[in-house]
C-alpha cells in the first residue's frame, strides 16, 4: 500500500491529561469567586451603614440609648417605676392620701436626679448606685397596691377625673357663650357717643333739616318701581351707613338706587342727621321710624301681643321659668324687637313697591346688585341662598319635629336658607297673604314649642314652598363666627357677618374686619370725637 505524501498526512491528535482539565476548572472557579466578592462587597456595606444610620436616628428621636434597650438596663427599670409612681401620685391625691402622695413625689425626684446625673456624665447607671432607689421605689409601689391602687381602680378613678374635667369644660363653654352673647348685645361706647352727638346736631343745626326737606322733592323716586329698592331695619347708625355706602360704591348706577331705612324713636333723629350730612354717590335715602306705623299694634301683630304676656316677659327678661335650662342665646330680647320682625311686614311698610331687596345691617356689599331685580323667582315670593350644604342647615335643626304640627307640614330634610340678603316679590307676597301665614305660625308658637330661636325658624315656615334658590355667590355667610373660604369671600356679592363677632365690636374676627372698615370714613370729625377707629 502506497503511503501519502508528507504534506497530505493528517496531524497526530495529542490528548491532555485529566489533571490539566481539573486544574483549569479550579482556576476559573477561583477567579469567579474573587470577581463576585469584589462586586458584591461595596454594595453590601452601604446597606449596613444605612440601617445603622436609621437605627441611630430612631434612638435619637425617642431619646433612647443602647443601654436602655438592654434587658438588664437599670435605667429602663427606674424610668418605668417613675411613670407608674406618677400615676399613683394622682390617685393618692384623689383619695386624699396626701402623706403617701408626698412620699411618692419625693422618691420620684430622687430617681430623676439619678437619671439626670447619669445623662450629664454620659455613662450608664450602675446597679450599685441605683439599687437603693429601685428598692425604695419598689416598696412604695407595693404599698400602693395594698391601698388598692391597682389598674382597675386607676381606670375607674381616671374615668371619674375625665368626667369631672368634661363638666368643668362644659361650664367654661357655657360661661364663654354667655359672656360672648352679652358682649355682642352691648352697644360700644363709641357708637353710643355717635348717636348722642348726631341727635344733638340734628336739633341744633337747621341746615340739616333743610337738606332733608330739599331731598323730599325726590319723593317720586321712593315709589318708582323702575328703580332698585333696598330696605334696612336697624338701630345701628354706623352699620347701616356701611350697608348704604358699600352698595353705593359698588353700584354701576348709584343714582338708580333707593334705600328705605327704618329705625326706632331713639335713633330716628341721629339716623336722619347722619344721612343728611353725608352723601352716598347720589343714592336716595329715606329714613322712617317704626313708631309711625299705626297698623303695627298688638291686635294685629302676634309678637306685640305676646310681649304683653307676663310669662313671655319672664322667659326673655328674667330667665327664671325653667331653672336656666334654656341657653342664653334663645332668651335674647332682641328676638322680640319689632325691628327684627319687621321683615315679615315689608308689603305694609312699602305699599307702593313691587320688588325690594332686604339687607341685614351686618352685611357688606362688594358687587353690583342690580341684577337681583331681574332674577325670575318663578312665581315664588322669596329669593334666597340655600344653606343646606351640610346637615346643620336643614329644617330639622331649626324646628321641633316632636311636635305633630311640624311633622305634618314640613319635610325635615328640606333645605334651609339665609336671611340677610333676600329678594322679595311683594306682588306675589300680597297675593298669597304671606304675612297671614307668618301670623298663623307665630300664634301657634305662643308656648315656644315649635321653635325657640329668632326670626329664621318662622321664616322657614312662612316661606316654605315659596322660596327660589339663588346662586351661592350672591350671599356669603359666616364672617361673624367661623372661618370662610377666601375664594368664596372674593366671589361673594354680599358678605354677611352673622354671629356674635360683629366687625364693629372688639370681639370681631380681626382678619375679616378690613372688609367692613374700608367703607367707614374714620377721618370724619364725629367719628374721631367719639374715638371710633
Where does the pLDDT of residue 202 fall: very low under 50, low under 70, confident under 90, or very high at 90 and above?
A: very high
Q: Which of 233, 247, 268 is nearest to 370 (CA)?
A: 247
Residue range 10-15: average pLDDT? 45
Give the mean pLDDT of the chain. Answer: 82
User: What's phi and psi for 421, nearest 5 deg?
Assistant: -150, 100
Q: Of residues 186 and 402, which shows the higher confidence score?
A: 402
Res 7 pLDDT > 50 = no
Which triple of cell numbers denotes residue 110?
430622687
Which triple of cell numbers denotes residue 77?
427599670
Q: What is the CA radius of gyration of the chain?
A: 41
pTM of the model: 0.67
Residue range 505-520: average pLDDT? 94
DSSP 93-131: HHTT-HHHHHHHHHHHHHHHHHHHHHHHHT-PPPHHHHH
Question: How far apart (Å, rounded) are the C-alpha atoms in residues 256 and 227?
Answer: 5
Inter-residue contact 346 to 430 (CB < 8 Å)? no
Res 11 pLDDT > 50 = no
pLDDT at 205: 87
Q: What percent of the chain has pLDDT over 70?
A: 74
Question: How far apart (Å, rounded) are the C-alpha atoms in residues 178 and 129?
Answer: 58
Q: What are the tens digits of pLDDT across the range 238-252?
A: 999 999 999 999 999
Contacts of 68-75 with CB under 8 Å at 24 or more apart are 73/124, 74/124, 74/125, 74/126, 74/127, 74/130, 74/134, 75/115, 75/118, 75/124, 75/125, 75/130
Where does the pLDDT of residue 184 fall: very low under 50, low under 70, confident under 90, or very high at 90 and above?
A: low
Q: What are the tens digits of pLDDT across the range 70-80?
A: 555 788 888 88
DSSP assignment letter at 64: -
pLDDT at 26: 63
pLDDT at 404: 93
Res 221 pLDDT > 50 = yes
Contacts of 82-90 with CB under 8 Å at 24 or more apart are 82/108, 82/111, 82/112, 82/137, 84/141, 85/137, 85/140, 85/141, 87/154, 88/141, 88/144, 88/149, 90/157, 90/161
DSSP 276-327: HH---TT-EEEEEEGGG-TT-STTT-HHHHHHTSHHHHHHHHT-TTTTT-S-
Q: How many CA atoms lie within 13 A of 162 on its CB side?
A: 6
Which triple of cell numbers denotes residue 522?
374714620
pLDDT at 172: 73
User: What's phi and psi for 10, nearest 5 deg?
Assistant: -70, 140
pLDDT at 469: 96
Q: What are the tens digits of pLDDT across the range 279-337?
A: 899 999 999 999 999 999 988 998 888 776 656 656 555 555 555 555 544 455 555 67
Q: Of residues 325 and 174, which shows the higher confidence score?
A: 174
Amino acid at each position: 500500500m502506497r503511503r501519502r505524501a508528507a504534506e497530505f498526512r493528517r496531524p497526530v491528535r495529542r490528548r491532555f491529561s485529566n489533571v490539566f482539565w481539573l486544574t483549569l476548572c479550579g482556576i476559573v472557579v477561583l477567579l469567579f469567586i474573587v470577581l463576585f466578592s469584589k462586586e458584591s462587597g461595596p454594595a453590601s456595606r452601604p446597606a449596613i451603614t444605612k440601617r445603622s444610620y436609621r437605627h441611630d436616628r430612631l434612638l435619637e428621636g425617642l431619646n433612647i440609648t443602647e443601654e436602655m434597650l438592654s434587658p438588664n438596663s437599670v435605667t429602663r427599670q427606674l424610668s418605668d417605676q417613675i411613670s407608674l409612681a406618677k400615676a399613683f401620685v394622682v390617685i393618692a391625691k384623689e383619695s386624699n392620701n396626701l402623706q403617701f402622695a408626698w412620699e411618692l413625689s419625693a422618691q420620684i425626684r430622687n430617681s430623676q436626679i439619678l437619671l439626670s446625673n447619669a445623662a450629664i456624665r454620659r455613662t450608664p447607671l450602675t446597679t450599685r448606685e441605683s439599687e437603693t432607689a429601685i428598692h425604695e421605689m419598689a416598696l412604695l409601689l407595693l404599698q400602693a397596691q395594698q391601698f388598692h391602687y391597682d389598674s382597675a381602680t386607676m381606670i375607674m378613678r381616671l374615668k371619674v377625673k375625665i368626667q369631672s374635667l368634661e363638666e368643668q369644660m362644659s361650664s367654661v363653654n357655657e360661661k364663654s357663650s354667655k359672656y360672648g352673647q352679652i358682649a355682642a348685645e352691648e352697644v360700644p361706647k363709641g357708637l353710643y357717643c355717635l348717636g348722642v352727638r348726631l341727635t344733638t346736631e340734628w336739633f341744633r343745626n337747621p341746615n340739616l333739616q333743610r337738606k332733608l326737606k330739599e331731598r323730599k322733592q325726590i319723593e317720586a323716586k321712593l315709589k318708582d318701581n323702575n328703580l332698585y329698592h333696598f330696605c334696612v331695619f336697624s338701630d345701628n347708625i354706623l352699620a347701616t351707613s356701611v350697608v348704604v355706602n358699600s352698595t353705593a360704591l359698588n353700584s354701576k348706577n348709584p343714582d338708580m338706587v333707593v334705600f328705605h331705612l327704618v329705625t326706632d324713636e331713639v335713633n330716628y333723629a341721629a339716623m336722619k342727621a347722619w344721612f343728611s350730612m353725608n352723601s352716598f354717590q347720589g343714592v336716595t335715602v329715606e329714613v322712617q321710624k317704626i313708631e309711625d306705623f299705626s297698623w303695627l299694634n298688638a291686635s294685629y301683630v302676634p309678637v306685640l301681643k305676646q310681649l304683653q304676656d307676663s310669662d313671655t316677659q319672664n322667659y326673655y327678661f328674667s330667665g327664671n321659668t325653667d331653672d336656666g335650662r334654656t341657653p342664653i342665646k334663645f332668651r335674647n330680647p332682641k328676638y322680640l324687637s319689632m325691628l327684627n320682625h319687621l321683615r315679615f311686614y315689608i308689603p305694609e311698610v312699602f305699599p307702593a313697591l313691587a320688588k325690594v331687596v332686604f339687607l341685614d345691617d351686618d352685611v357688606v356689599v362688594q358687587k353690583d346688585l342690580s341684577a337681583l331685580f331681574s332674577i325670575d323667582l318663578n312665581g315664588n315670593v322669596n329669593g334666597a341662598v340655600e344653606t343646606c350644604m351640610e346637615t346643620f342647615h336643614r329644617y330639622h335643626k331649626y324646628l321641633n319635629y316632636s311636635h305633630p304640627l311640624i311633622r305634618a307640614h314640613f319635610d325635615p330634610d328640606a333645605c334651609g336658607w339665609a336671611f340677610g340678603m333676600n329678594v322679595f316679590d311683594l306682588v306675589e307676597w300680597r297675593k298669597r297673604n304671606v304675612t297671614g301665614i307668618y301670623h298663623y305660625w307665630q300664634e301657634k308658637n305662643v308656648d315656644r314649642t315649635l321653635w325657640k330661636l329668632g326670626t329664621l325658624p318662622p321664616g322657614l315656615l312662612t316661606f316654605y314652598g315659596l322660596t327660589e334658590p339663588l346662586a351661592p355667590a350672591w350671599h356669603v355667610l359666616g364672617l361673624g363666627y367661623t372661618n370662610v373660604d377666601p375664594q368664596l369671600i372674593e366671589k361673594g356679592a354680599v358678605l354677611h357677618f352673622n354671629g356674635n363677632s360683629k366687625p364693629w365690636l372688639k370681639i370681631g374676627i380681626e382678619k375679616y374686619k378690613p372688609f367692613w372698615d374700608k367703607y367707614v370714613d374714620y377721618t370724619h370729625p364725629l367719628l374721631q370725637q367719639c374715638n371710633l377707629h
